[in-house]
A and B are shown apart, each in its own frame.
Chain A
């Protein structure tokens, strides 16, 4: 059974850093495209970043230069390193698996809440 479990969300001050984790089971993150998507309170979905199976990474302009996506194949875990956090980064962060070789998301984690506030 495919499962994605995010962790690492917290209350953090503006300018701070945080690393989110997404532990996968039932498949290998190394063999799939994986994305991070966030949802600010009461708002819609915003795609943030993708890492392809070959290792290429891409980012939305809103997080480029501040966020870094990565994975640890030995731990079967996806990460999102978030630096220079701003109040507008407050959101629930989801990791999502792309359907094999495609660009839609067939499995999602339950989300982890990041609150950026002083």
Chain B
């Protein structure tokens, strides 16, 4: 199975900050990497697919990059609604594993 490791596990930031979350795969997954946002008590929401393609309706302050084993999700200017937990997911092979999550908290 492909292991997905996110860092950091938690992050404190302020509105307007630029933040970056990293996701590392245990083997080459090319660009088969997706990002989700989850608010407490809610279902995950797709933000980004294929490493860098923004899902329809997602604000452009979100961006993704990377290929191979190392990927990043960047939020250029944090808004109050962005404080949530973020998960990466590889779609290269079954089982479709997720990272452990990064909880973004208000400083």
Q: Say which one of A8-16, A45-53, A71-79, A80-88 lies at the interface with B.
A: A45-53
* In the bound complex, CA of A45 to CA of B94 (Å): 15
Q: Which of B45, B87, B91 contacts A45 (CB 8 A)?
A: B87
Within 8 A of B (CB), among A26-82: 35, 37, 44-47, 50, 58, 60-61
Residues of B within 8 A of A (CB): 1, 32, 34, 36, 38, 42-46, 49-50, 55, 87, 89, 91, 94-101
A106 and B46 contact, CB distance less than 8 A? yes
Q: B42 — nearest CB in chain A belongs to which residue?
A: A110
Q: List 21 A-B contacts (CB under 8 A).
A: A35-B96, A37-B44, A44-B99, A44-B100, A44-B101, A45-B36, A45-B44, A45-B87, A45-B89, A45-B98, A47-B97, A58-B95, A99-B46, A104-B46, A104-B49, A104-B89, A104-B91, A105-B36, A105-B89, A108-B43, A109-B43
